[in-house]
Structure 1
Amino acid sequence: MEILQKALDWKHTQKIITSVIILNAIVLGILTDRSLTAEQIFLLEAVDKACLVIFVIELVAKLLVYRKNFWSDAWNIFDFVVVASSIIFISSSVSIIRAFRIFRLLKALAEFPELQILVSAMLKAIPSMSWALVLLFIIFYIFAVFGSALYGENFPELFGGVGGSMFTLFQVMTFESWATAVARPIMEVQPYAWIYFLVFILLTSITLLNVMVGIVVEAVGTISEAAKKKQAAKDAVKAQSEGYEADEVEKKIRKHFEQIEELLKARKA
């Protein structure tokens, strides 16, 4: 058990697991190629199973060492579900279960603090962005109803109903051929249609999307600052600990010198 504990605590263990996760992800990606030969598929599946064996060994080691504490970490539960599912369906034709293991790439974030900050910022921004998305949906719905009423009769393929209108408006918002495929054909029939599209673009692409970007940027700045403070606190504690250790070493050295001086005095006497 001590050996397993040391192996899990070894500073390079997580790097090795991360490398295996990335290798497994690459293999799973290559296996999606339909043009692979039988020999290539056999080799890739062998590598995939070897990666699975490593994941199982890691999981069993953690279960033996951490026991009940294993279930207190969400990442451990996620790993258990993914690896256990892969073992259960290892001989099955259900390829989606094997593909589900690609989500273990998220665990590689632990090795990259910068990615951790970005993901944490996105998660933190979700509550604020959700209200922005609600507002965006309302604007989409309003303009979809108006668009269907204004242009549905002449352009049923673009504004034939609320659903189709919202899809057309999404194309307009993303600027994907919105002028040539949507706006200009309508303007040939109804010249003032440009007002409708420009107002919609100003409200969505220029205003609301920039608001969302601002929310994420603010969250990134907040979390980055918090991470810097946390790292500074760790460095301070480490420096204090190193200073304490240096003081202890100095005390021991002085004590040895005093003992040597006492021995010399005793010999002279």
Structure 2
Amino acid sequence: AAQEAAAQQRAGRDWSPSNMGQPPNQPSKGPSSLFLLSEDNPLRRYTRFIIEWPPFEYAVLLTIIANCVVLALEEHLPQGDKTTLAKKLEQTESYFLGIFCVEASLKILALGFVLHRGSYLRNIWNIMDFFVVVTGFITQMPQSTQQNDLDVDLRTLRAIRVLRPLKLVSGIPSLQVVLKSIIKAMAPLLQIGLLVLFAIVIFAIIGLEFY
């Protein structure tokens, strides 16, 4: 009995990369990721360790900030003309998109895609991140394909890049709390805003009548 209790205690210890190749004595009953990776799979455990590793989170946040700076520096001219700076900044788009794709892939491997509770697409912020990544790949299609085969204007999809700063919210829990509080307060604030607008309109009409 003592040996069995000791074995159970060893199996319940926290995992770290050093014991990645040592599966627990008892099989995990958690949901699998992508129907392939169980909870005790070394690859899934390692990807979970990476996405929860603070340096990885900081690196993603710095990448988002750098991408926001690049988007702010872009300058669009009429008839599709671009400045020299805009052409150089446009070349960085594929690098940022690649980093965001790696981040999404690691989270999908670690959490699963969508079918079980706690999976990647069960989080509203991850849905936004995935949408930004997918639309980013569409906008990176070759120019010949865009002009000859597709009769669509991809400028609207490129405008979706303005959502990338919101990825900061998914990486900083305190910002999520602030944003949720603002959303919940929008209904009462809307009523107050209508009251203020009504008062402004009344005084504007009075001013027009006098002057």
Q: Measured at CA, do residues 57 and 115 of structure 1 come closer, stay the same or move farther in structure 2, by a change above 3 Å?
A: closer
CA contact (8 A) 2:47 2:110 kept: yes
1:8 aligns with 2:55: no
Give the equivalent residue in structure 2 for 1:90. 140
Aligned Cα root-mean-square deviation (Å): 2.7
- Partners of 1:125 and 1:45 lie apart in 2 by 38
Alpha-carbon displacement from aligned partner over 1:95-129 (angstroms, at most 9, x marks no partner)? 44334223221221355566555444433432321
Q: Measured at CA, do residues 28 and 12 of structure 1 come closer, stay the same or move farther in structure 2, by a change above 3 Å?
A: same
Structure 1, unmatched stretches of 5+, are 152-269
**By how many angstroms is 1:135 displaced?**
0.7
User: Runs in 1 of length 4+ with deviation above 4 angstroms?
Assistant: 110-118
Give the equivalent residue in structure 2 for 1:23. 66
- Partners of 1:64 and 1:115 lie apart in 2 by 26
Query: How many pairs are equivalent?
Result: 149
CA contact (8 A) 2:74 2:89 kept: yes
Give the equivalent residue in structure 2 for 1:128. 188
CA contact (8 A) 1:82 1:101 kept: yes
| SS in structure 2 at match of 1:32 | coil
Give the equivalent residue in structure 2 for 1:76. 126
Give the equivalent residue in structure 2 for 1:36. 83
Letter of the aligned partner of 1:147 in structure 2?
G
Relative to structure 2, which stretch is displaced further, 135-144 or 81-90? 135-144
Q: Measured at CA, do residues 42 and 14 of structure 1 come closer, stay the same or move farther in structure 2, by a change above 3 Å?
A: same
Identical columns (%) = 27
Structure in which a larger fraction of residues adopt helix: 1
CA contact (8 A) 2:126 2:170 kept: no
1:104 aligns with 2:104: no
- Partners of 1:109 and 1:99 lie apart in 2 by 19
CA contact (8 A) 2:136 2:158 kept: yes
| SS in structure 2 at match of 1:12 | helix
Letter of the aligned partner of 2:101 in structure 1?
V
CA contact (8 A) 1:21 1:108 kept: yes
Aligned pairs for 1:195-214 within 5 A: none
Alpha-carbon displacement from aligned partner over 1:24-46 (angstroms, at most 9, x marks no partner)? 11112212265731xx4443222
Q: Which has the larger radius of gyration?
A: 1
Letter of the aligned partner of 2:58 in structure 1?
K
- Partners of 1:111 and 1:8 lie apart in 2 by 11
- Partners of 2:92 and 2:127 lie apart in 1 by 24
TM-score (norm: length of structure 2): 0.59
Aligned pairs for 1:107-256 within 5 A: 107-109=167-169, 115-116=175-176, 118-151=178-211
- Partners of 1:79 and 1:112 lie apart in 2 by 14
1:49 aligns with 2:75: no
